[in-house]
Amino acid sequence: MTDLTWLSTRELADLLARGEVSSREATEAHYARIEQVDPTINAIVTTDPERALAEAAAKDEALVAARAEGREVPALHGVPMTHKDTHDTAGMRTTWGSPVFADRVPTEDDPLVARLRAAGVVTTGKSNVPEFAAGAHTFNPVFGTTVNPYDPTKSVAGSSGGVGAALAAGIQASGDGSDMGGSLRTPASFNNVVGMRPSNGRIPHLPPGNAWQWLAQQGFMARTVGDVALLMSQTCGPQPDGPCSIQEPGSVFDLPEFRLGADYQPDLTGVRVGLGPDLGGLLEVEAEVVAAAFEAARVVGELGAVVDESVPDLREAGEVFRVQRAYDFVSAWGDLVRSETARPDGGRIKQAVVWNTQMGFELTVDDLAAHDARRTRLWQETRRWFDTHDVLLTVTAQALPFDAELEFPQSINGRPMTNYLEWMKAVCLISATGCPAISVPAGFSSTGLPIGIQLVAAPGKDVELLRVAHAFEAATRHADRHPDEATFAARA
C-alpha cells in the first residue's frame, strides 16, 4: 500500500476517489501512525477504531456503488480525521479537557463536524486541548500534556495543540480547531504547519447562549495552505439559523492554483504588504522570531509585493480583547463556574478559567458601553489601514516553543509575562480586529524549533489571504521539513 503518512488531504482524497486506496486502508494506516507516534506526543486522547473502520467500510461500499452509477462522491469521501476535543461528536466523548466533562458523550455533532462528515470524513477520535480551551499550552488534568514532535521537551501551544502535533507527526494532513486568542495560529507556528482564523461567519457557528459571538472562530489547520482551502470549501456557506453567517458559498475557496497538478508559479506583483514584527512597539518578540518576519518580508518582496514598515494602530485592541473574552467566558461558563466554585473543595475548574470568568462577572454597563465605543474605533482604524494595504505581515508567536513543563513563558527578552495572555498578544490583538489571519511556516530557529509568520487581511478577504499565504508557502517550502522519526522510535 502507498505510504500515506505525508500525503496532503487533497492527495489522499484523490487516491480514495480513484479507488487506488480504500478508506479502510487509509483508516488502518491512520491508527497505525497514532500507535507509532502518540506514545511520544500524546496528541490523540480518544479513539474508536471499531466505529471508524465500520464507517470506512461503508465509504468503500458507497464508492463502488457511486462508480457503477456514474456518480461522484463527496470531496473528502473516506478521509480519516480526528476532531478537536471541544467539538461535539455524536456517540464519542467530548471532554473539553475537564474533569467536569470527562465522561460526557454528546448525542449530536457540532455543526462544523457535521459538515465535515457530510463531505465524507470518517471520524476516528479526538485531539487534546487545554482545559476549556483556555491557555496557549495544551495540558489538562484528564489527559496530561501534549508535546512537540520537533522536540518533545517543548510545548505545542494551544488550544488546538493536539491537532497541531498530529499534523506535524504525520497522523493526518489536516484537521479542525478553533481560535479565540490564537488557538489555531500559535499551534501552527509551534508545529511547522498552517493555521487559519477565518472572518466571523465564514464558518457558521452557533455557540450556546450567544449566537452573535464574534471573538472565537472555528477553522482549520493543515500541512498546506491548499488543504486549508479545501476544508473551507466544504464547510463554509450560509447557515439559516446563524445570524452572523456569510452568504458566500464554500465554492469560493475552490481555487485553481490549489488543485492537484496545477501549473503554479508564485507571484505577488502589486500586493501591498505592511511589515510590523512588534505591531508598532506593542509586543516583546524574541530576536530569532523577528528575524524570521524580516526574512518573510524579503521573500514576498521578491515575489513582487510592495512592502513597507507600517501597521494599523492597535493600541486599543488589547482592551477590546480583554473585555470581550471575559464577557464570552461568562456566556459560555458562568453558571458552571458559579456552581463549581461553590463546592466545598473549591471546584474542578482550573484557576485561569475561573479568573477569566470572574473578570466577566465584574463588568458593568459602563464597561460594556466603553467597550463598544473602543471596538468601533478599532474597526474604523483597521479599515482605514486596509484602504492602503492588502496584507499585514507580523509574527505569530512572540517566543519560540517553550518548556512543556511551564504553563506559559515566564519572560520574553527579560520582560516578565504576568499572566497567560500577555505572551499571546501577537495573536490576541489581531483577534480583536475581527480580521482573518493565517500562520504559515517561516523557518526554524538555530536549535531546530519551528517559527511561523502571521498574515492578516481585511474582514471578508479570506480568499485573498489564502492566495498570499499559498504564494509564500510555494516560494519557501518550509513545511517540507518533518520531525526526526528517531524521536518517535526512541520513546514509543
First to last CA, the chain: 23
Strands (E), 181-240: 194-197, 217-222
**What rounded mean pLDDT belongs to the chain?**
96
Q: Helix or strand or coil: residue 217?
A: strand
Whether residue 458 is predicted with pLDDT greater than 70 in this model: the reply is yes
Assessment of whether the complete model's pTM goes beyond 0.95: yes
Q: What is the pLDDT of residue 1?
A: 60
- For residue 134, what pLDDT is reported? 92
| Catalytic site residue from 8, 23, 59, 84 | 84
- Other Cβ atoms less than 10 A from the Cβ of 229: the count is 29
pLDDT at residue number 491: 57
Q: For 6-12, what is the mean pLDDT?
A: 98
Residues 6 or more apart whose Cβ sits within 8 Å of residue 190? 148, 154, 155, 156, 157, 161, 164, 397, 401, 449, 450, 452
390-404: per-residue pLDDT in tens? 999 999 999 999 999
DSSP string, 33-98: HHHHHHHHH--EEEE-HHHHHHHHHHHHHHHHHHHHHTPPPPTTTT-EEEEETTS-BTTB---TT-
Q: Give the span between the Cα atoms of 455 and 41, in whole angstroms.
A: 28
Give pLDDT tens digits for 207-241: 666 888 999 999 999 999 999 999 999 999 998 88
Tell me: the pLDDT tens digits for 241-262? 888 899 999 999 999 999 999 9
Task: Find the catalytic residue in 155, 174, 183, 439.
Answer: 183
Annotated catalytic residue 445: no
Cβ contact 120:59 at 8 Å? yes
Distance CA 223, CA 168 (A): 7
Domains assigned to the chain: 9-491 (3.90.1300.10)
Distance of CA 277 to the CA centre of its chain: 21
User: Do 348 and 340 contact (CB within 8 A), yes or no?
Assistant: yes
Residue that the C-alpha cell 470581550 belongs to:
324
CA–CA separation, 448 and 190 (whole Å): 11
Q: Confirm whether 98 is a catalytic residue.
A: no
What percent of the chain clears pLDDT 90, i.e. is strictly above it?
Answer: 93
CB 326 within 8 A of CB 488: no
Q: Which pLDDT value is given to residue 490?
A: 61
- How far out from the chain centre does Cα 107 lie? 25
Look at residue 406 in the predicted model and tell me its pLDDT: 96
Catalytic residue among 22, 23, 98, 159: 159
* Residue 75 burial (10 A CB sphere; 0-12, 13-18, 19+): buried
CA 146/CA 158 separation, integer angstroms: 10
Q: Cβ atoms within 10 A of the Cβ of 403, count? A: 11
Is the pLDDT confidence value at 420 over 90? no
- Catalytic (active site) residue 159: yes
Contacts of 121 (CB under 8 A, 6+ apart): 76, 79, 80, 81
- Dump the DSSP string for 149-180: TTEEEEE--SSTHHHHHHHHTTS-SEEEEEES
